[in-house]
Amino acid sequence: MESRRPQRRVRVRVMRVLQWAVMLGLIQSGALGARKLRGGRTPQQRRALPPAHNRDRAETTESFSLDFTAVEENMDNFMTQVKNLAQSLYPCSAQKLDYDMKLHFLENTSVTCNDGTPAGYYLKESKGSRRWLIFLEGGWYCFNKENCDSRYETMRRLMSSSRWPQTKTGTGILSSLPEENPHWWNANMVFIPYCSSDVWSGATPKTDKNDYAFMGSLIIKEVVKDLLTKGLDNAKILLLAGSSAGGTGVLLNVDPVSELLEELGHTNIQVRGLSDSGWFLDNKQYRCTDCVDTVNCAPTEVIKRGIKYWGGVVPERCRQAYEGKEWNCFFGYKVYPTIKRPVFIVQWLFDEAQLTVDNIHLTGQPVQEGQWRYIQNLGTELRNTLKDVPAMFAPACLSHEFITRNYWTDVQVKGTSLPRALHCWDRSLQENSRSNKSPPKGCPVHLIDSCPWPHCNPTCPTIRDQSTGQEMNVIQFLMHMGFDVQKMAHQQGMDPSKLLGMLSSGS
């Protein structure tokens, strides 16, 4: 009987908050109606709405369940989330929500972007929340003076802070809208722009001898130090996330960030990683070419040259495992076994960036049989490197980057979406820390597609014909890629019409 009293008290407080929300809504709807009768403009007309992609997603209906488990130990945070949810249900009060992250430059001005301009970060605080998400932006790299000069002319935003906007709106896992970001919407959001061109690994300042600074690893550490004065010191969970080069940056920096916090006396902050589209393979290219730029150069050669040019730093355990060959630490399946902190891997099985560096260029022309075979083998290789990763989400889609896309809630593997899988992972880590139990039943965290072709998963993002811009279904896409239904059906020992039916249904 005694054990039920805390939950009863929680329910009473929740009901009071929800009653407050209903009253607020009635008052606001009355105020809105009065304004309309007087012919005045509503607050929505006076103030610009959130970006279109957020408005579109906000129109869908969404139910929010109240989970009372483990609420007693974090009551204030739970009540804050309920109040924020109640506010977001009503148009007037929703205007109080600020969707934007605001730009801050580093206190330590000696840590800079490539061109010596100050590095920085975007922050949206969530008062009352003890969860923090720090996101590392991606954007390839450069590895010598020639291609860094070219990058500076064509992609200056990725090497300089001189043109950064003052605010940034988060999407996907950085969104503050519950319908777009069901599990992390109320976290403190931090976006670190990529301006070091070094896969977040460098520690070299700009000098008279060095045309560019490469300080990616130092930028992350300085951001963490700055955030400790803005509430991170009270955090319970810090999720270091990133996409593409930022995803690789997560693998390289999740342990160093945790070690930094421990050195500074913040031993209670649980540091975790979320690496999206950063699990690259050091495989043999489809067609070998000279290493003249970032696109055509083989992945291993890029990193071997880059790590010297950048003064690249790798995690200590990985450095010891590959002493003298530290470039190995930039490849997910090699660095992952050396990482101590929990990391969730998100990886398209047919990653466009991997295909690009492997010299498979999908330019709208049907691929040759050898290319088609290479693409299928790539999916098989990726599956093999991921099979021992306990927490991962790997759809059989042809794409690149995922967690900040608006469709990140729509793609499923075996009936489970990525936000749901991340929620399950969070729960499993909480329960494991308490009692070393296995992951909760019906809450999978190891999700990988088994079908063998690009876009054989029917929930994959839409593909468009590059020449016409028209959307393509799975069969049209495979035909476009040079897929031979008759030949493949013969190889699988089935009737061609049956194979077509399976493809159409996504089997």
Residues recognised as catalytic = 244, 351, 400
- Cα torsion through 275, 215, 226, 345, rounded to 10: 0
**Residue 117 · residue 161 · CB < 8 Å:** yes
Which are the contacts of 400, defined by CB distance < 8 A and separation ≥ 6?
A: 244, 277, 348, 351, 352, 353
Q: Which helix (H) or strand (E) holds 105?
A: strand 100-105
The burial class, CB within 10 Å (0-12 / 13-18 / 19+), for 416 is middle
CB atoms under 10 Å from CB of 450, counted, come to: 11
Q: State the DSSP code for 108.
A: -
> Whose CA is closest to 318, among 378, 269, 248?
248
Q: Can you say whether residue 357 is alpha, beta or left, with left for phi > 0 and alpha for psi between -120 and 50 degrees?
A: alpha
Q: Name the 3-class secondary structure at 276.
A: strand
* Cα torsion angle, 254, 259, 260, 261, sign: positive
> Whose CA is closest to 260, among 316, 321, 332, 336?
316
CA–CA separation, 505 and 507 (whole Å): 6
In order of 37, 354, 418, 462, 506, the CA distances from 407 in angstroms are 40, 21, 10, 10, 18
CA–CA separation, 227 and 131 (whole Å): 13
The burial class, CB within 10 Å (0-12 / 13-18 / 19+), for 197 is buried
Total number of residues shown for the chain: 507
**Residue 402 · residue 348 · CB < 8 Å:** yes
Q: State the DSSP code for 341.
A: S
E-strand stretches of 391-450: 392-394, 398-399, 412-413, 416-417, 446-448
